[in-house]
Structure 1
Amino acid sequence: MMGKIWAFRALDTLFFRDGTPFNEGETGSVPPATLFPPSIMPLQGAIRTCLARKQGWTPDNGKPFPPELGDPDSLGQLKLEGPYLRFEGKCLFVPPSQLVGKQDSQGKWSFARLVPGNEVECDLGKVLLPEISRKDGKPLSAWLTREGLEAVLAHQEVREEHLIFPDQLWKEEQKIGIRRNRQTRQAEDKHLYTLTQIRPSRKLEVIVKVDGIPDSWHPSGMLGLPLGGEGRFARVEIGDECRENPFPAMPEIVTAKDGIVRFTVSLLTPGQYENPQDVIRNGPLGVPGRCVSACMGKAGTMGGWDLKHNCPRPLTPILPAGSTWFFEAPPELREEIEHLHGSFSGMKTEYGMGQMVVGIWKKQEES
């Protein structure tokens, strides 16, 4: 038994809506937006439905859903990792929030990183807020190659070729639709709607590692599966893991001159936590040492579709991928720190949520 890689490639536009109300009379002037890359929820639904059908289950044949694949609230024996983006055969990752960038008048990018500054008093009490070490810059709306992420984690120079921007990966398209009567197959008056869909590049794939079931349960070769809303389809290719590990390497964890180990923990996939406010302040539970600062983007929400009850799942808060915490620890905890790299934190870890990577940081005078 070994993990398989499910690679999804769009055959048309895709639609994964956010939490904006989409019922008649509720949207007002704000149309629902689409989220891309999608969360793990629509992907795990497509994967599990496909696996269950291969075992002879269909929604209306009366056979029970295979217990090995879980139920509406669990994955059973399944273990997922991802989703990740793969562009032209190379995996891409969300940059840790400590990385900022600036584009000059010639379009050339330069980069800097945030590090904990001096102690200040604010609404959180006395804390060390992140500050830019050398240059100015803004948070990046981009993706990092494996080499780029390794450079950020190792506190090394990041180059422009390490970044891939969203307009290279997908385009947004406005769509107008109309409700159709299923019995008469005719359009209904006064039922127009507008939404935004995503048209991914033909070279872009969304990949998920699927583990925990026998190899014979996985379909072979290539197939088409419905994915997301609006009845869109994706081509899925299922294969073995790459011989070359695409996961970023962890830098050497070193002890500073003052005898302290300074390291960062960043989310590679969004994290869901029972007490997110405590995690924002103190970092994920189980990380050794003392959290001295953090930087992260705006918290989001995650829902999905409940196939059993034919209704949307409740929205739950999540911390975004790229969220970064700065820690200090004594040298004797180095082995515990190293074990964090690639591990998972929080809730729904079997879904691949809360995967962490470890990096290093240096004080401003060392930077």
Structure 2
Amino acid sequence: MNYFLLSPRDPLIIRSSRPFEAISDADAAKFPPPSTIAGALRNVYARSQGMNFDNKAHIKQLFECSVTGPLAVKIPKDTSVNELSEANILVPKPTDAQYFRFEGETIIVGMQPLELGEEDGCDLPKGLLPLFLSQNINGKPVKGPRWWALKDLLAWRTGNVPSFKDVVKNGWTPTEPDVRTHIERDNKTLNSVEGQIFQTAGLTMWQQPDCAASFPNEKVSILAGIDGDVTLKAMNLGGERRLAEIQPCELWPTCPSDHGQDMIKAGGLTLTFLTPTIFAQGWRPKWINEDSLIGTPPGCQTLQLKLKAAALERWTPQSGWDLAINKPRATELMIPAGATYWFEIVPGTATKQELARLWMAHLCDGTQHNSNGFGLALPMAYSWHETQD
């Protein structure tokens, strides 16, 4: 796998066209989904190799070319690619982390799965545990950064809750979206066409500065990998064929040496999905049995995991254009990035080698979704004994 930094030269337009009457806000500016990055990288890979887009064999080869990511990388001003480290990698905020305003400051409160009392009940599927806040708090939920530094997420998963100030400092809060109003012009009269007006909201790839009057001094690039060689230095990315610079790099999260042993010792693990995920059963992976909630993840042979709980946001639509048949793809349900699933390891089924296969693996249902970069998973140890105590 070869990794690249994709640095947009203008705000990114990702599915943001909307009627003029709609309100444009920060939520309208979207980070590109894996399918967008996969299509763009395969395009430049094909052009680098001189492939013919009318050749069915070449099209088949492109579809089989695996892509991983995208993640994000925060780059301080005047910093070269060679000076970057894993400390610069950004990941989506985990869904089980919530921001609250409490006693005049913003804090981060986690959610954890717990058994219900004898007289309690819920409408979750049988065997699935509900989530509760890890501490009682009399405060209101507030908004905060949607992108965390990878090191803060790793600390969060080991029980070391980062401060909200550190998350803001190390993470990514984009500047205001680049909102533009468009009209359709009649080429004969050169007048605007009545009723043909819409807006786009572009994602600004800069870190919001501390002071509104200052200029951002940290930019954000997209980190992705492809199983092929790309020699071009620029590409089109997103709507309006806006340009992005392509820079090869060696940057990617590395698996700790004792990672598998920690999960075996804990007897459980969490899977945090760093890219949006698509499952055939909606919220539930197809490799998890509906009745027993036990299954073997893709790429593993002996490992068996029992699903205990899940934290995920409301689904979003995912579609696209099928280059092979030259038609739009059917819309699918996409679980937003940051979704977290809790598992118990079935005793006697785990080995360090098996668990190592889960590190930054794609765990969607379907080979093509995994090849497109969906379902990128970060596994971390989780002890059920400590939770219930």
TM-score of the superposed pair, with normalisation by structure 2:
0.74
What is the CA-CA distance between 1:46 and the residue it aligns to?
Answer: 2.0
Unaligned runs of 5+ in 1: none
Aligned residues: 337
Q: Is the 8 Å Cα contact of residues 272 and 340 (structure 2) preserved in structure 1?
A: yes
Change (3 A) 1:308 1:288: closer
Amino acid at match of 1:64: N
C-alpha change, 1:248 and 1:97, in structure 2 (3 Å) is farther
Is the 2:275–2:375 contact (alpha carbons within 8 Å) kept by the matching residues of 1? yes
Tell me which amino acid in the other structure corresponds to 1:226.
N
2:6 maps to 8
Tell whether the 8 Å contact from 2:130 to 2:309 is kept in structure 1 after alignment: yes
Question: 1:54/1:330 Cα in 2 relative to 1: closer, same or farther (>3 Å)?
Answer: closer
Per-residue deviation at 1:9? 1.8
- Give the Cα–Cα distance (whole angstroms) in 2 for the partners of residues 284 and 233 of structure 1: 43
Deviations 1:130-184 (A, max 9, x none): 1112244748652221211111222223233542488733421332111135x65
Instruction: Quote the Cα distance in structure 2 between the aligned partners of 1:93 and 1:291.
Output: 23
Equivalent positions of 1:1-367 (< 5 A) are 3-17=1-15, 27=19, 29-30=21-22, 34=28, 36-57=30-51, 64=55, 67=58, 70=60, 75-76=63-64, 78-88=65-75, 89=84, 90-104=88-102, 106=104, 108-119=105-116, 120-125=120-125, 127-136=128-137, 138=141, 141-160=145-164, 162-164=166-168, 168-181=173-186, 184=188, 186-190=190-194, 191-201=196-206, 203-211=219-227, 213=228, 215=229, 218-220=230-232, 222-223=233-234, 225-229=235-239, 231-242=240-251, 245-247=252-254, 249=256, 250=259, 252-253=262-263, 255=265, 261-279=267-285, 282=293, 286=297, 288-306=304-322, 312-335=328-351, 336-346=354-364, 347=366, 348-362=369-383
| Contact 2:185–2:193 under 8 Å retained in 1 | no
Distance 1:152 1:306 in 2: 39
- Unpaired stretches in structure 2, ≥5 consecutive residues: 76-83, 207-217, 298-302
| Offset, 1:81 | 0.7
Report the alpha carbon displacement of residue 283 of structure 1 after superposing the two structures with TM: 8.2
Letter in 1 for 2:123: D
| Shift, 1:306, TM fit | 4.5
Mapped contact 1:52–1:65 kept (Cα < 8 A): no
CA contact (8 A) 1:7 1:205 kept: yes
Displacement of 1:189 in angstroms is: 2.1
- Which residue does 2:210 correspond to in 1? none
Measure the CA separation in 2 of the matches of 1:112 and 1:206. 28
Cα distance in 1 between the residues matched to 2:168 and 2:56: 41
Query: Alpha carbon RMSD of aligned pairs, Å?
Result: 3.4
Query: How far, CA to CA, are the matches of 1:248 and 1:342 in structure 2?
Result: 8
Q: Is the 8 A contact 1:85 1:206 kept in 2?
A: yes
Which secondary structure does the structure 1 equivalent of 2:349 belong to? helix
1:253 alignment partner AA: M
Q: What is the DSSP-based 3-state SS (H/G/I as helix, E as strand, rest coil) of the residue aligned with 2:31?
A: coil
| Distance apart, 1:64 and its partner CA | 2.4
Q: Quick one: distance in 2 between partners of 1:146 and 1:167?
A: 11
Q: Which amino acid aligns with 2:110?
A: R
> Which secondary structure does the structure 2 equivalent of 1:163 belong to?
helix
SS at match of 1:122: coil
* Change over 3 Å in CA distance of 1:323–1:140 after alignment to 2: farther
Give me the TM-score of the superposition, normalised by structure 1. Answer: 0.78
The one-character-per-residue Cα deviations of 1:241-284 (angstroms, maximum 9, x if unpaired) are: 23xx534644822546xxxx132122121111222244397488
Instruction: After TM superposition, give the deviation of residue 342 of structure 1 in Å.
Output: 1.8
SS at structure 2 position matched to 1:50: helix
Structure 1 residues 70 and 208, CA gap change in structure 2 (3 angstroms): farther
**Would you say the 8 A contact 2:294–2:304 is kept in 1?**
no
Counterpart residue type for residue 49 of structure 1: N
1:314 to partner: Cα distance: 3.1
Give a deviation string over 1:344-363, Cα, whole Å, max 9, x none.
21231111211211123345
- Separation in 1, partners of 2:146, 2:204: 17
Contact 1:284/1:345, CA 8 A, preserved across alignment: no
Structure 2 residue matching 1:82: 3-state secondary structure? strand
Q: Residues of 2 paired with 1:159 and 1:204: CA distance?
A: 22
CA contact (8 A) 2:275 2:374 kept: yes
Contact 1:152 1:359 (8 Å CA) reproduced: no
- Structure-2 change in CA distance of 1:306 and 1:30 (3 Å): farther
Asked if 2 retains the 8 angstrom alpha-carbon contact of 1:264 and 1:325, the reply is: yes
CA distance in 2, matches of 1:79, 1:45: 11
Structure-2 separation of matches of 1:283 and 1:158:
32
